[in-house]
Amino acid sequence: MSYDSVDALQQALTKEVFNYAKDAKKAAGRALGTLVEIVSFYLLKAWDYENHIAIERRVPEYANPELTHNVEFTLHPTETIATVKLKEGDLPFTSTKLRKLVKAINWEKDGIKSTQLLTKDKLLRNCCTIYEHNSEIVVAYLGDKNGDIWNISIEKLRSHPFAMFECKRVGVEEGVKKGPQTIEKAKQGAYVARTVSSLQKLRMADGAVYGAIHLPSGELRYKPYDKFLNEIVSSNDPDLLRHFILTVGVVSNHGNWFTSDDHNKELKVLAQSYDWLLFLTDSGLATFVSDLLLKPQKKYIKVREAFTSSYTGAKGGNKFTKVQMALDADKAIQEYFKENIVKIEGWFNVISPAKMSIKELKKELKALSSKNWQEILK
């Protein structure tokens, strides 16, 4: 680790990248929050879930659809509609061009989205929604390139996700020991995690946590939470799975919050609400920043260029977010994650469930993504 704390890392970014800003430290802190989201997204990409991901979708509360909540990433059951090809000279790859190549869908006018998967300036839109009507979501994902021909996957996502990921991080003003917003952000994340899934948490008088699901038959089934969660993930029972969402939180430190070994109030609130809570360590975040943004090898220099060109003080033109990423930077980050995936998985400590590893989370996501959702959700 090149920096002894995230505070030291933030100070380095303040001096090297954000010196133009009126409040350079705050700008650097916000950028670190974006980096947590980017690390999480490319981890999911490295685990081969890109074609399941939707970004910043509103998820309804269970049995209370009037209330919805925006979350960073949702993972959905998916069906490949088509793989289409476009030439480099066809740039930009607009949603209109892509829809014209797909005959399997009757495109309703009020569901059409005006988006660009890849712009003329090679700015990639991750998980590019080209159509959304009722419960039908059609998303385009940029594939590989052969010569000057791009392969593009067109996927239909079921509107109900089988998993969701949220990222939480806060900073503090210089000289302030604790930001007043920290516990509020924790409560916001906890509320969403506890309300979107059919698996509800109940705390017993002795402190034990049970999970409960109200079945269509009217039965209220309940068991110790961890046991019930494992049963649902392993099950093929539509009554258990139809409204279930695995909730995953990713949190990072900024001194005033916590460490992975020191669970203060904010972390305890989050840990008892998400099914899985992952802690992105200081050393992990610092390694990402050092390897790709501050001291990159030549093959990763495009990542630094995309990052620094996005933070110049000028409005617009951001090429370094979870939604939009410079294409060269995207390819370089994917290469970095592919080459270092074991090390990167080690950046994350599992806060809850207790005594579990990230390997178990991967197994649960694999089990959920592999189910016959067409039958379950009919």
Region 163-181 average pLDDT:
63
Q: Could you give the CA distance from residue 222 to residue 207 in angstroms, rounded to a whole number?
A: 15
Burial of 196 (0-12, 13-18, 19+ CB in 10 A): buried
State the pLDDT at residue 119. Answer: 98
Q: Which long-range contacts (CB under 8 A, 24 or more apart) does 58-62 make?
A: 59/161, 59/164, 59/192, 59/196, 59/245, 60/196, 61/195, 61/196, 62/195, 62/196, 62/197, 62/198, 62/200, 62/243
The pLDDT score that the predictor gives to residue 60 is 97
| DSSP collapsed to 3 states, 271-321 | HCCCCEEEEECHHHHHHHHHHHHHCCCHHHHHHHHHHHHHCCCCCCCCCEC
- The Cα–Cα gap between 28 and 294 comes to 13
% the chain with pLDDT above 90: 72
Asked whether 37 and 167 are in contact (CB, 8 A), the reply is yes
Top pLDDT among 311 and 322 is at: 322
Per-residue pLDDT tens over the stretch 223-243: 999 999 999 999 999 999 999
Q: Tell me: the pLDDT tens digits for 27-44?
A: 777 788 899 999 999 999
Q: Between 22 and 318, where is the model more confident?
A: 318
Q: What is the pLDDT of residue 28?
A: 77
> Is the backbone of residue 223 left (phi > 0), alpha (psi -120 to 50) or beta?
beta
- Using the structure block, give the residue that is written with the tokens 């209330």: 67
Instruction: Choose among 281, 276, 284: nearest CA to 355.
Output: 276
Domain regions of the chain by residue span: 6-51+163-197+245-283+344-376, 78-158
Q: Residue 342: is its pLDDT beyond 50?
A: yes
* DSSP output for 85-138: EEEGGG-SEEHHHHHHT--SS---GGGB---EEE-TT-EEETTEEEEEETTEEE
Q: Please check the confidence at residue 369 and state whether its pLDDT lies above 80.
A: yes
Identify the residue whose tokens are 């939470």.
225
Q: What is the mean pLDDT of residues 196-211?
A: 96
Alpha carbon distance 348, 134 (integer Å): 37
Buried b (16+ CB within 10 A) or exposed e, 267-283: bebbbbbbbbbbbbbbb
The mean pLDDT value for 300-329 works out to: 90
Q: Look at residues 372, 60, 98, 356 and name the one whose alpha carbon lies nearest to residue 230.
A: 356
pLDDT tier for residue 176 given thresholds of 50, 70 and 90:
very low
What's the pLDDT band for 257 if we cut at 50, 70, 90?
Answer: very low
**Is the predicted pLDDT of residue 161 greater than 60, yes or no?**
yes
Q: 237 in helix, strand or coil?
A: coil
Give the pTM.
0.93
Asked if residue 30 lies in contact with residue 171, where contact means CB atoms within 8 angstroms, the answer is yes
Over 90: is that where the pLDDT of 107 sits? Answer: yes
Give the pLDDT score at 154: 97
The pLDDT value given to residue 182: 67
Among candidate residues 348, 263, 359, 326, the one with its CA nearest the CA of residue 120: 326
What integer is the mean pLDDT of 166-194? Answer: 70
- Report the share of the chain in percent with pLDDT over 70: 92
Q: For 62-82, what is each residue's pLDDT tens digit?
A: 999 999 999 999 999 999 999
Task: Look at residue 183 in the predicted model and tell me its pLDDT.
Answer: 75
Tokens of 196: 């979107």
CB 108 within 8 A of CB 168: no
Highest mean pLDDT: which range of 101-105, 160-164, 262-266: 160-164
Phi, psi of 208, rounded to the nearest 5 degrees: -65, 145
Q: What is the pLDDT of residues 1-27, one digit of tens each?
A: 456 666 777 777 888 778 777 777 777
If we measure between CA atoms, which residue out of 34, 286, 279, 26 comes closest to residue 171?
26
pLDDT averaged over the chain?
90
Q: What is the mean pLDDT of residues 277-300?
A: 92
- 127-155 pLDDT, tens digit per residue, is 999 999 988 899 999 999 999 999 999 99
What is residue 368's predicted lDDT score, i.e. its pLDDT?
98
Burial grade of 43 (CB within 10 A; 0-12, 13-18, 19 or more): buried
The predicted pLDDT at position 26 comes to 72
Q: Is the pLDDT of residue 262 over 80?
A: no
CA atoms within 13 A on the CB side of 115: 21
User: Quick one: average pLDDT of 165-192?
Assistant: 69
